[in-house]
Chain A
């Protein structure tokens, strides 16, 4: 469709960072009032491209041209792109928790009359904007009291307040649960009906398939293909093939488990909320894990999966009230993470940046962090051993890094996760609890993480995988426990179940044995 009314054309965009070319001649066109999906593995250059478009990287720091509404534009910064009606909503929400919805929406664009902020006018405008995104909230509500889904909607309301013509959403649903995601996609369709163009970066192919009018796939900083699609009938396999540059018939590696005796057994685990006395976050949970077994934990956000795992891991969350843990058949008491590590338990947290990593550290320092004692000789850390351990894991896990001395902050999500996994493999635990081990990781790296998990189970370790992605649990685990509101609501053999049954079990509050 050469004559289609394009709102945006990006031609031969090239952007260099010291030592690497992040974008290499990317060319793409976007039709007006389309929902245009941009796909690619982590590190492919999607976010960089959006930052070029929105002026985060100003004109002059890249080469190539951007034609917007028929004119070549040269944005000097976010302000100038916003004036043109291009608004970017970052993956990490940029709202200020202590301020109200109204204050956040007008932050930087305050409505002023006579040198003072016109509260009444702002309030009216906010009510109108909130109605457009389907939020029924008092404009004076503090952002910190809202859920992530509602915050996302406030971000969109903020964009609407700037008279947006082209809305860029960077992984808009990555932190949302299914309901909120669906809500957001509906809202995007509503914006489209009003003539607003959306550019959406997403890893979730089913969402892309549901709403997109066009797809652009980027790999290694280059456009692989860009083509119009029909919402509802998108070929997901074609997207995956062009994202990874090879076909991925099987997203989960084949594996024949060797299951041994019970290695971890938890009985009647009961935990109270850390700050709200009387509120139970684990209600008499009992489960077991056998050697060589990969056990899944399924549950909606807030169901208490992470809380259960963390309270097991040395009571590092909440107030432990009652319940016992048996490791290798013996009852153990683990009242600190250090004791849990000594007992042979490992917990890989879901949030790498917040809980899993010290971003100031190198790969080397991170790898040995949970088992420093093993590299101490005569009271001092042995630098040679430290290097050898880290280098050994880097090679065996094929972590992509020039050396183990580089900072973990420079690695991609998948490689960071490999470093975190090696940190927890080094203490040689008997049971590993992996909390969302593939979150924020691209398809290719996911496959490698899955293989690592299977290798761990082949070594006779028990592995617990907590995941929000049901296909992942169905593809990887041998048994699945479901959790709802802090209670284990059932357990099934993975071979005998499907997504619908799991979803039912995840949403029943009554304890029902299946």
Chain B
């Protein structure tokens, strides 16, 4: 157990959902008679869910600051429609239409940000209004008719990387290069991290790092193979590539920049953040605006895949995105949640969708199962984190449990009860 911890590095509980994802893949592989782990299924899975996963990236930031965005589906639909109409009616080139689409998303984001950050209306209300309004505008401007989009968008939504180079690799060489680059990065970053740990002379042992690198590399190699070895002309999908790029960019933003730190500060304790010099209004504004920008990206990828923009595009996407974030362990009260965990949460939902379809389960029962999975995943998270005496994560969903965890860990950490020993948290705060 200890060596397992060393290999994983960090808190093993964060891998629970990743383990569940792998288990789901294996179960469906077995139940569907081997149709789960195939090139075409993986390619479809990624390309067909990239837009929801992109929404989850923005949604986790919104949820971390303690807000929610219910309008992302309508925004994605509106952006797709605006873009299609711009291309069809004004005859602008595809890339101008693309820019118009992105600009529409940013504008809508500024609208949301204005009401939430400046006026102080809760995101739930602002975006519920947005959900209604933007859906209405989609139907209004389209006249309830689907509008085809230029062919170039198809590449964005469902395209593949180019084929080139020698054939002896037995797979798409673009995918191969990507996979090799990813492995090289893993080796380099893990070794660099290790070399910076501890003081010179008393470094932690190297073997867990080596085992970890080998394991991750094997997983990447397998994924490279499965994405690259499909029928000729297919590869790692382009929307998947856009998704991966966004995951990397937003992970860096949230984990390594001052702005990212401020997002968590605002979500954890808004008043304390403000007194630490954080411009809480600006953080709220940017996070809300960014959500709509990502919704625009999602909408563009979707119409590319569908080859036309329809009046019902994006309906109920917000629910999938929100579910992904909470399966990924974010807290309703804010302050807790990561981009990568939300992506894993989204992938769990995607694999469920795909696996249940492959095993012949209808949409009705799929919806029931997805709902139960959301409930059970969060309940499991609450249970395992609450009973371990650790502070927060989804235990914040249940303040009572949280209080107990706080007290227990308070006494557990340093023989002091953090909650009871405070003279300062009594109702009077002014002197």
Contacts and interface: CB of A to CB of B under 8 A. Distances in A.
A468 B415 contact: no
A361 B276 CA distance: 14
Given A358-B335, A410-B414, A468-B431, A170 B423 contact: no
Nearest to A379: B257
Given A379-B257, A410-B412, A355 B272 contact: yes
A313 interface: yes
Contact of B268 (A43, A358, A412): A358
A440 B430 contact: no
B276 A369 contact: yes
Interface string A16-38: 01111110000000000000000
Contacts of A305: 431
B1 interface: no
A462 to B, nearest CB: 19
B428 interface: yes
B431 A361 contact: no
B418 A409 contact: yes
Contacts of A175: 423, 426-428
A338 interface: yes
A18 B389 contact: yes
Nearest to A297: B431
Contacts of B271: 354-355
A504 interface: no
Contacts of B422: 91-92, 352-353, 413, 440
B408 interface: yes
Given A42-B421, A175-B427, A17 B412 contact: yes
Contacts of A360: 264, 268-269, 335-336, 391-392
Nearest to A175: B426
A92 B414 contact: no
B375 interface: no
Interface stretch (A133-141, A319-327, A343-351): A343-351
A145 to B, nearest CB: 12
Contacts of A340: 277
Interface residues on A, range: 35 or more
A43 B420 CA distance: 9
Interface of B: 196, 252, 256-258, 261-262, 264-265, 268-269, 271-279, 335-336, 389, 391-392, 406, 408-431
Interface string A361-372: 100010001101
A379 B426 CA distance: 40
Contacts of B262: 372
Contact of B424 (A301, A336, A353): A353
B420 A170 contact: yes
Contacts of A407: 391, 409
Most-contacted residue by chain A among B274, B415, B424 (CB, 10 A): B424
B418 A410 contact: yes
Nearest to A438: B423
A172 to B, nearest CB: 11
A206 interface: no
A274 to B, nearest CB: 11
A370 B276 contact: yes
Contact of B431 (A45, A302, A316, A384): A302
A341 interface: yes
A384 B424 contact: no
21 contacts: A20-B412, A20-B414, A42-B416, A43-B415, A91-B420, A93-B427, A316-B275, A337-B275, A337-B276, A337-B277, A341-B276, A353-B424, A354-B424, A355-B271, A361-B264, A381-B256, A409-B409, A410-B412, A412-B414, A413-B423, A416-B418
A410 B429 contact: no
A380 interface: yes
B403 to A, nearest CB: 10
A256 to B, nearest CB: 30
Given A411-B418, A412-B421, A48 B411 contact: yes
A199 to B, nearest CB: 14
Most-contacted residue by chain A among B278, B279, B422, B423 (CB, 10 A): B423
A336 B282 CA distance: 13
B176 to A, nearest CB: 30
A401 B271 CA distance: 25
A436 interface: yes
B409 A413 contact: no
A63 interface: no
A423 B276 contact: yes
Contacts of B275: 313, 316, 337, 347, 349, 355-356
B391 A373 contact: no
Given A411-B413, A411-B416, A359 B391 contact: yes
Contacts of B428: 147-148, 175, 301
Contacts of B411: 17, 20, 22, 48
Given A355-B272, A372-B261, A410-B412, A301 B431 contact: yes
Contact of B391 (A18, A147, A380, A409): A409
B277 A411 contact: no
A336 B277 contact: yes
Nearest to A309: B431
A351 B409 contact: no
A402 to B, nearest CB: 8
A19 B330 CA distance: 27
A357 interface: yes
Given A91-B422, A380-B252, A221 B415 contact: yes
Contact of A410 (B261, B265, B274, B391): B391
